[in-house]
Amino acid sequence: MPLSLNGRVALVTGSSRGLGHGIALSLGKAGAKVVVNYLNDRASADSAMAVLSDNSVHAMLVRADASDPEQVEAMVRSASEKLGAVDIVVPNATPDQPQKPIEEYDADFYRQMYEFFVMGPYMLAKAALPGMKGQGWGRIVNVTSEVFHCSVPNFSAYVAAKGGQIGWSRSMASELAPFGITVNTVAPGWIPTERHANDP
């Protein structure tokens, strides 16, 4: 029997292109109403919305910085008002991830990785949890990475942040299970999306 998400509302950050767009489309095809999030590229966001529309997916578009607490809260609030309580959250937004020796990273870059991959999921979950707990059902799916398990060198900032995201997910899975809310991680390998167009 195919997966049915009829009546569910899914919010996928960074979903105007690449992996995020694929996730949003899959959730929408399964019946969920989808919140498409972007920050800078409106043309890609409009294109993503057109694809969703062509596939009969009920979607709304929200411009928001997924690393900004106020914007995240406003995004979840707007989605809940228009579509219903957000009960599926996929923190997918990501900044650039240059590979460098540790001596070439600076502290601000390390903080940026932490903001996106630990604080980002935390802020999204905190904003969506009242709705999830209220209906006794929720799904949080963190997009982690194989880089943590492979201990990839010259990538310490990203690897450390992904390790933190995995640890956060494990703790939250135990904490939220009694409320009917699951927290899982998906660690994809390298995917040939726009982000990786210039990778060797």
Per the annotation, the verdict on 122 as an active-site residue is: no
Determine whether 92 is exposed, middle or buried from the number of CB atoms within 10 Å of its CB (0-12, 13-18, 19+).
buried
Q: Which of 49, 43, 3 is nearest to 27 (CA)?
A: 3
**174 alpha-carbon distance from chain centroid:** 20
Q: Which of 77, 96, 97 is nearest to 85 (CA)?
A: 77
Q: Which of 24, 78, 84, 30 is nearest to 52 (CA)?
A: 24
Which entry of 38, 110, 114, 158 is annotated as an active-site residue?
158
Catalytic annotation, residues = 158
